[in-house]
Structure 1
Amino acid sequence: MEVAKIQQAHKTTKLRTIFLGYLVMFCIGTIALALFLVLIFYILMSCGTILPANYAENQVREDKAILEAGKTLQPDTRQKLYRYALFTAKGRHIEGNLSEKQAQAAWSVTQQSNTAYQFPYNYVKVSHNNEVTVMRYSVSAQFELPILRQYLPNAELSFFAVFCIAFLGGGALLASSFGRKLTRKMSGLQQATKQIQAQDLDFSIQLSGVMEIDRVLHSMDKMKETLKTSLQKQWNLEKSRREQISALAHDVKTPLTIVRGNVELLSETDQSEEQKNYTDYIAESTRQMEQYIKTLIEISKAETVATLQAETIDTDFYLTKIKDQVMALAAVRKISVVFATYNLPSTLYVDPVLLERAIMNVASNAVEQAPEYSEIRLTAESAEECIRLSIVDEGPGFSPEGLKQAAEQFYMGDSSRRLSGHYGMGLYITKSIVNLHGGQLLITNSTQTGGGQVSIEIPIRAASTS
């Protein structure tokens, strides 16, 4: 691409040069048009198709001399280019080819003088044999043909109108041509913009040959390369993170398998009822951890969390199971759990494994943020065409930054969470699971306790009442 740029650098043209070229072309065209129309005008005048501007004036002068000599005007083969009105000495209109109104106006104009001018006509008054003739004419070139003279009374204005129309038409054509050329020159810029928007950065910049546009294209080329490098670094960093997560998840599976095996052996020994409960809690927690690790591995390998495998489940049985797990989780920190349900359907159509994972992630965060001997409220209800599961704690709540970013991948809030073993994945996984169900995750602070309030909403279309 650099070779192409160097080769085209000698052929670049400034935008103002192109514009000046069109301007010069327009000026030359205008001058040529004016000269052409003037030439046509004089050719038509020389062959008699157009009569000169003083033609009517000469006719008036000749007929005035005849009338002043006391003679009568004789019929003439030439058509008179003036109009007249005959009056008595006292001003009574007798005849003529001026209308009554025009005749009275001609009489009034010539009362002070035998010659007068009132735009756009000249008037001449001639007295003879106790009668008065007033002749009206205009000093302008006219067409010899009566029909042309009827519709185009002024030949000069007619040619000027033709010039104006051709002038505007030529200007419009040149402007259109300039616009099309500029559009062609900018096509490379538009194409580069579209490809960058589509995140296709493997393309070559096509230079236009216009200096100003090529400068922009060079800047875009540099921006493209910088963006490509940045995206490559970001992709490599993301890939490295996913590989680290996947490796960590696989490493955790080994000690977890040992824990699960020992728990199974422990459950086969003689135990008291309380010990059996504790053993069951450990076994269930081990099962959850295995599911979490499986999800973590899936996240590290793909953009989506997992494939949704929805099924119809019993609502009461499922939520009771969730409640027991939350109570076992909270008991470690001596936190009590308040559980309440409102207007729930008897069955739900969800992925029970993924939804359980999402709820327990929220519950785990709530337990860790809540102080000892406090209370966690777990509420399940039907509201506005959705199933809403809310968990409220009495901890410090979310910071303004946390309200916006708590569900983002690797967001850890502050150093205290990082020190307690968090990696910013819990609410991110929860949000991904909720999105798979077509729902939404709401993160707020409770107005009653001041602690965090996280709600999972699943659309009613994903739930079934029987």
Structure 2
Amino acid sequence: MADGKRARSINTILFYYIFKIIISSAFIIFIMSIIINEGLKREIIYPANYVESMIIKNMDIYETKEKLEKEDIPPYTDYAVVDDNFNYKYGNISEDKFKEIKDLLEKDYTRDSYYGFLKVVNRDGEKLILNYSLKIRFKNPNIDKLFSYFERDVLIFTFILLIINILCLIIKFTREIGNSILSLKDISKEIENENLDFEIKYTNIKEVNQVVKSMDDMKNELKNSLERQWLNESEKREQISSLAHYLKTPLTIVKGNLQLLEELEEDVDKKEYLNYMDKNISDMEEYIKILINISKNSEENNYSKDYKDIDIKNLLYELLEKSKALALRKNIKINKDFENIVDRKIYANREEIMRIYENILSNAVDFSPVYGEINLDGKIEKDNFIFSVIDSGRGFSDESLKKATKEFYMDDISRGRKNHYGMGLFITKKLVDKYNGKINISNTKDGNGKVEIILPVK
């Protein structure tokens, strides 16, 4: 329920289900009793004392009738007529069974665990021996054979019904509790995915609703915090962008004047100073461009939701062509090893994915010598697309392996390159993190630099 006003405590729900178990179990026993009583009324089944009551009813016949017939004997009763010395005359008890019964009677046993009850009726110069059992029997002999132990079968069947009833109610109870617990998991997942614009749904359990209320408060506080953070970052980006543009104009004027002075200046030493100043101003312009790009990238990362399925096989060959184009200026050879590339896709913004791989390809070209080699490796492992680039440069220093993805980090000495502003791998890492991926930076056994990108696939 949406507002949780009709929620109950776990104890109340537990007692409710215990009560239902008691009531439903009593109902099952009551129904079984009605079925048995109805069977007795309709004489579909005989009561346990039926044979004994028929013997008492027919006692005069047993004592006086000259010759007894099978029809005179109650159903499900064995009989034997003997003389006063217990010599067998006639009946439906076999002689072997009679011998055992005779031994029991001589010991004054009238009940035996195997043969049941024994009753002796005195007749004129004879004795009637009746052998019967006290248990519920079916009137139809065929049905009676199927349920020869009716009381036991009824108890077992009733017990099974009770167990099924209890199990069903326990399953219903656990499902009710479980569904409420699952709602907490759903809320946690939404918050984990940074989806904070959803309506909290309360359950019918008070204790769970207390947790839901706390999570709702946390969600709202997190949402407000993220909105404040976004506003602060947005203002910061605007300030950086504005400052960068303000700096760009005077630097352009200064650079133009320096270049004019270089053309007019004839003194070699002064001209060298002017060249040095011009070069540093060019560096400053590069930094300003980077600041503007950072501002744009941050903005795009917040709003780029144009996600599509990107076929990995097509992506690999597109990257291969891109790397060949980048390598032309230094006559670098591109080697590829694309294995186990099945029909898998990456769900992402295409421009951002291309930017990830273009950055590491561009770095590899920059740090490789003229006529060097770059090795591209692409493969699918489990649910990940792994793409690595190995250049033929001097590899990363120990410090670079730790800090290469930091903003503005430069390691020009170890990698042998000038005018590198330390932003490529930083931006790459930010984009990889956005897609729950991973970037690994290492050196090969030959000492060359290696960058590996791991992204989840569909």
**Quick check: 128-137 or 231-240, which moved more?**
128-137
Aligned in 2, Cα 1:251/1:211: closer, same or farther, shift over 3 Å?
Answer: same
Matching of residue 208 in structure 1 with residue 241 in structure 2? no
What is the match of residue 381 of structure 1? 373
1 CA distance for matches of 2:135 and 2:242? 100
Aligned in 2, Cα 1:356/1:92: closer, same or farther, shift over 3 Å?
Answer: same
Matching of residue 49 in structure 1 with residue 41 in structure 2? no
* AA of the residue aligned to 2:71: D
Aligned in 2, Cα 1:232/1:394: closer, same or farther, shift over 3 Å?
Answer: closer
- TM-aligned CA deviation for residue 213 of structure 1: 1.9
What is the match of residue 428 of structure 1? 426
Q: Is the 8 A contact 2:439 2:452 kept in 1?
A: yes
Q: Is the 8 A contact 2:364 2:390 kept in 1?
A: no
Q: Structure 2: which 5+ runs fail to align?
A: 305-318, 336-353, 378-387, 412-419
What is the match of residue 80 of structure 1? 75
Quick one: which of 130, 133, 136 aligns to 1:141?
136
- SS of corresponding position for 2:391: strand
Aligned residue-pair number: 397
* AA of the residue aligned to 1:298: N
What is the match of residue 212 of structure 2? 217
Q: Is the 8 A contact 1:380 1:388 kept in 2?
A: no
- TM-aligned CA deviation for residue 215 of structure 1: 0.9
What is the match of residue 350 of structure 2? none
Aligned in 2, Cα 1:314/1:235: closer, same or farther, shift over 3 Å?
Answer: closer
Give deviations 1:102-121, integer Å, cap 9, x for gaps.
Answer: 77876787785553422584
**What pairs up with 1:244-255 in 2 under 5 angstroms?**
244-255=239-250
1 CA distance for matches of 2:183 and 2:194? 16
Aligned in 2, Cα 1:118/1:440: closer, same or farther, shift over 3 Å?
Answer: closer
Quick one: which of 291, 314, 318 aligns to 2:330?
318
- TM-aligned CA deviation for residue 21 of structure 1: 1.9
2 CA distance for matches of 1:232 and 1:381? 47
* AA of the residue aligned to 2:294: I
What is the match of residue 28 of structure 2? 33
**What pairs up with 1:249-268 in 2 under 5 angstroms?**
249-258=244-253, 260-262=255-257, 264-265=259-260, 268=263
What is the match of residue 237 of structure 2? 242
* AA of the residue aligned to 1:265: L
- TM-aligned CA deviation for residue 275 of structure 1: 10
- SS of corresponding position for 1:236: helix
Give deviations 1:270-303, integer Å, cap 9, x for gaps.
Answer: 8799999998898777666645533431221234
2 CA distance for matches of 1:208 and 1:189? 10
2 CA distance for matches of 1:313 and 1:359? 13
* AA of the residue aligned to 2:210: R
What is the match of residue 15 of structure 2? 20
Aligned in 2, Cα 1:302/1:89: closer, same or farther, shift over 3 Å?
Answer: farther
Q: Is the 8 A contact 1:288 1:357 kept in 2?
A: no
Aligned in 2, Cα 1:440/1:266: closer, same or farther, shift over 3 Å?
Answer: farther
* AA of the residue aligned to 1:381: E
Aligned in 2, Cα 1:260/1:77: closer, same or farther, shift over 3 Å?
Answer: farther
Provide the TM-score with structure 1 as the length reference.
Answer: 0.60
Give deviations 1:206-251, integer Å, cap 9, x for gaps.
Answer: 3334321221111111221232233234323433443343234334
Aligned in 2, Cα 1:276/1:162: closer, same or farther, shift over 3 Å?
Answer: same
Aligned alpha-carbon RMSD (Å): 5.8
**What pairs up with 1:103-252 in 2 under 5 angstroms?**
114-119=109-114, 121-122=116-117, 136-178=131-173, 181-182=176-177, 189=184, 192-252=187-247
1 CA distance for matches of 2:115 and 2:185? 58
Matching of residue 407 in structure 1 with residue 405 in structure 2? yes
Give deviations 1:290-319, integer Å, cap 9, x for gaps.
Answer: 45533431221234699x994854746437
* AA of the residue aligned to 1:150: K
What is the match of residue 417 of structure 1? none
2 CA distance for matches of 1:448 and 1:198? 41
- SS of corresponding position for 2:75: coil
Q: Structure 1: which 5+ runs fail to align?
A: 320-340, 364-375, 414-421, 460-466
1 CA distance for matches of 2:35 and 2:42? 11
2 CA distance for matches of 1:391 and 1:229? 48
2 CA distance for matches of 1:391 and 1:137? 105
**What pairs up with 1:56-75 in 2 under 5 angstroms?**
56-57=51-52, 72-75=67-70
Aligned in 2, Cα 1:76/1:285: closer, same or farther, shift over 3 Å?
Answer: same
Provide the TM-score with structure 2 as the length reference.
Answer: 0.61
* AA of the residue aligned to 2:426: Y
- SS of corresponding position for 2:71: coil
What is the match of residue 373 of structure 1? none
**Quick check: 284-293 or 32-41, which moved more?**
284-293
2 CA distance for matches of 1:165 and 1:240? 71
